Each structure stands twice: as C-alpha cells, then as structure tokens.
Amino acid sequence: MKIYNTLTRKKEEFKPIEEGKVRMYVCGPTVYNYIHIGNARPMIIFDTFRRYLEYKGYEVTYVSNFTDVDDKIIKAAIEENTTAEEISTRFIKECKKDMADLNIKPATTNPLATNEIAGMIEMIETLIEKGYAYAAEDGTVYYRTRKFDGYGKLSHKNIDDLEAGHRDIKVTGELKEDPLDFVLWKPKKEGEPYWESPWCKGRPGWHIECSVMAKKYLGDTIDIHAGGEDLVFPHHENEIAQSEAANGVPFANYWMHNGFLNINNQKMSKSLGNFFTVREIGEKYDLQVLRFFMLNAHYRTPLNFSKELMDVAKNSLERIITAAENLKHLSGVTEKEDMTGEENELFEQTELFVKKFEAAMDDDANTADAVASVFEFVKFANSNASAESSKAYLEAMYQRLFTLCDVLGIIVERKQEILDADIEKLIEERQMARKEKNFARADEIRDTLLEMGIVLEDTREGVKWKRA
Ligand SMILES: [Zn+2]
C-alpha cells in the first residue's frame, strides 16, 4: 500500500512501526459552531482510510482531538453571555451527531485540549530545559523556531524566506527574540478561561495541544498524522518542531493532507454567503450523499461542491443501493438454495472488481477509482442475478457489495421509516386479502412489513404487531 507523504512529496510504501498496528492522529475541529462541509472532508476521507486499513487486517488506534479552548470559542461565549465550556460542550455534542450521520466511526479516543493541560505544561518545561523555548517578561512562552534545524521540512519552506516575509510586518510591542518564534503559552486576558502554570495564569497555544495529545495517546513516534492541507503550515510544521525537539525522535512517519473544498468554484466563506454547515446539507440530503460525493474525488485534489454535483452523487448512490436491495429481494423470493457451478464461476469473476477496488485504495487511497470498481460490480450484479439465481449466490453477491461499500462507509441498506398509521393500514389490507383468499398478496404484505422491521403475530384477538 502506498501513501503520498507530504514530508517527502512522494508516494511511499506504507510500513507501520509495529507490524499489524497503525497509530493515526487526525487534527479535529475547534468547537465553537456547527461543523461546516470543509471540516467534514478530512473526517470522511481519513475515516475511509482507517476503514480500509481495518479491512486489510490492521488494528488501528485512531485519535482525533477537539480543540475546546480557543479565541473563537471565547468570542462565541461572550456573544452568548455564557461560558467557553458551555459552548464547547454543546458543539462537541452537535459535531458527534453530524459525524454519526456521516457514518464516521467513533475514534479510539477523542481527547479534549482542556483535559490535557498538565501534559502541555510538562512538554513546554522540557522545551525550555532543552533551550527550545523561553518565557518572556509578561509570562508568554515562545518556541525558539530557529533553534530547530528541521523547521520548514514539512511545508518545504526555507526559514530565511519566512524571516524575510516577517521583516516587512514587524510587530511592535512583542517580546519575542525573533519574529518567527511562535506561542506555546499565553497569559490570560480579563474574563478568559485560564490555568495555573510556572509562567503565568494563562492558556496553551493551539499547536502544543496536538503534540501533547499525540504523544500521550499514541507515543513519541506515530505512523500517520493527517489533516487538511491548510494545516501544513504553520500548525503541522510547529507540531513537528515541538514534538521532535521535546522527544528527540521523529514525530510522524507519514503525513497525509486533503485538498480544499470549494463552493461553485469559489473559496467557501461566510462573507461570500456560500458557507454551509453539515447540518444544513442534512436538511436537504441524506448525509450519506455528502459522504459519497466526497469519495468521488481523490482526497488530495481540490473538490468543488455544488447542488448539481450533489444531485449527481445522489443518483449514483441510488444505483448502488437499488442493486443491493435487488439482490436482497431476489434472495428472499428464490426457491433455489445452493450455488450452481455456473454461479460459482460468475461469483469468482467478481473477484476482479474486488482486486480493482483494493488496487485503487492501495494507491494512496484513490477512492474515486474504488467507487468506479463498485459500479462495475453493480453493473455485473444487475445483469447476472435474477429470481432464477440461487439463494447462496445472491447472498454471496450481496455480501460482497456490502463489504466494499462498508469500507467506503456507505450503508447499502435503505433506511425505511414507517409510521404506525401506515402499518395499521397495511395490516387491514392484509386482512382483506386473506378474507378474499388472496394469500399471495397477504404474504407479500407480511414480507414487506418484515423487511421494515415490523413483525406480525396472528392471535385470537386479531393481529398484533411490534417493531423488531
Ligand atoms: Zn493539530
């Protein structure tokens, strides 16, 4: 399996530190509002990648944080006249709901920055001891960027170019030794949440959070660190500087970054009025459609979002679900049990689609090609399955489609919700059919209800039903 590594700018063969195990860290959202569809892209992409690793037999420890202390959270709290904690608690809950609707598997651990302050203070102390950080007069602790030799290796930036860029915008009144130095700890301002520290009452900078949470939950060197392309610089560059200086070993072996999401070929922004939360999209579409839409592009390419493209995704997804539904339906009605020799051959032919699927995913998680091989399977299944097929064959075909879609996080079982009144109506219709000795229709209604999870029980008092 090959992964494009931002660090080396090459596709590299993936080799985990420990055989059969993968330690993966994905930067999570800052929780001050509902997540937007740009936030959803890395969540969907790296969840799919994790699912594929698990499909390949790896045991994956997947850590994704919530940044629950930040300027934006404090600002939202002031606007609502509440606490930062209330804001972050609320939006973590909402974020988890959106993630569940996007069928994103829960992480092994979702650490919260505010629970890890002690570890952050400890790492900052180590950095100070090693000469990589210093406390300024006002209690702010800065990272001494030039001291770290590898600075710029992830973003492929030259430190002197960075310095030149900074020289034009000299900030006065700052207590930094060098304009490139960044904040590890900052003093509190009036009304802000704060923690005690050896330097001042204050709170951590954003970058130190991820270095500490990755270390605590995954170790000093991890296999994969992932996130959006916008995090490469400075966030991930700074994480490397902190972690490698403090721990003395490489931080992450592979760095994966997803491309930007645009709306109608424009950058998504509130000021342009083209800003969508996942919740808003969920009001118009099943969120599976959003997931499927995102998988139709390679994760490193920019992705353009539009209503037209979402509708195309919706129709394509419908074709997969219909094919799965059809296989399930046929296996319920066929009278033949065992697979014939001919069916066995047909089934073996579908190995080809599985191989194509795996080859696509092995090639730097090319989900677009993986989806294409699912469609090849669907086409084959549609023309090679009928009520004449055996139950064993139809079930094997269904299972294979189910498994491939499950790697993509696509649920092929249609969600059917039926109201009590509709159930009663169907039961009434079934009673009529039985009276008229139309037993075929009566059985059909029973089966339809059963498919929707409604179990009928004929009793002396009449028909009773319950949700299975
Ligand atoms: Zn991070």
426: number of Cβ within 10 Å = 19
Contacts of 139 (CB under 8 A, 6+ apart): 185, 186, 187, 199, 200, 201, 202
Ligand 1 mean position, distance from CA 228 (Å): 10
Ligand 1 mean position, distance from CA 346 (Å): 48
The token duo for 242 is 């902190």
253: number of Cβ within 10 Å = 19
Cβ-contact 334, 387 below 8 angstroms: yes
Ligand 1 mean position, distance from CA 116 (Å): 14
Ligand 1 mean position, distance from CA 226 (Å): 9
Q: Read out DSSP for 237-285?
A: HHHHHHHHHHHSS-SEEEEEEE--EEETTEE--TTTT---BHHHHHHHS
Q: Read out DSSP for 203-220?
A: EE-HHHHHHHHHHHHH-S
Ligand 1 mean position, distance from CA 236 (Å): 7
So what's the pLDDT on residue 450? 85
User: What kind and span of H or E run contains 183?
Assistant: strand 182-187
So what's the pLDDT on residue 168? 53
Task: Name the CA radius of gyration of the chain, rounded.
Answer: 27
The token duo for 45 is 């992409």
What is the value of pTM for the model shown? 0.88
So what's the pLDDT on residue 173? 59
User: What kind and span of H or E run contains 5?
Assistant: strand 2-5
Strand 266-267 and strand 261-263: pairing?
antiparallel
Ligand 1 mean position, distance from CA 85 (Å): 20
Ligand 1 mean position, distance from CA 88 (Å): 17
The token duo for 349 is 């032919």
So what's the pLDDT on residue 419? 75
Closest CA to 183 of 223, 231, 148, 133: 133
Enumerate residue ranges in the chain where pLDDT < 50: none
So what's the pLDDT on residue 265? 87
Ligand 1 mean position, distance from CA 28 (Å): 7
User: What kind and span of H or E run contains 117?
Assistant: helix 117-129
Closest CA to 444 of 461, 462, 426: 426
Question: pLDDT per residue over 92-114, tens digit each?
Answer: 999 999 999 999 999 999 999 99
Closest CA to 361 of 348, 349, 374: 374
Per the listing, tokens 């509002």 go with 33
Ligand 1 mean position, distance from CA 183 (Å): 15
Closest CA to 347 of 297, 299, 397, 306: 397
> Which fold is adopted by the domain 17-258?
Rossmann fold (3.40.50)
Strand 59-64 and strand 21-26: pairing?
parallel
Ligand 1 mean position, distance from CA 198 (Å): 24
Q: Read out DSSP for 277-299?
A: BHHHHHHHS-HHHHHHHHHTS-T
Ligand 1 mean position, distance from CA 429 (Å): 58
So what's the pLDDT on residue 30? 95
Question: Which phi and psi angles does 32 have, rounded to 5°?
Answer: -125, 0
Question: pLDDT per residue over 206-262, tens digit each?
Answer: 999 999 999 999 999 999 999 999 999 999 999 999 999 999 999 999 999 999 999
Place domain 278-407 in its CATH homologous superfamily.
Isoleucyl-tRNA Synthetase; Domain 1 (1.10.730.10)
Question: Which phi and psi angles does 452 have, rounded to 5°?
Answer: -90, 10
Q: Read out DSSP for 288-338?
A: HHHHHHHHTS-TTS-EEE-HHHHHHHHHHHHHHHHHHHHHHHHHHH----S
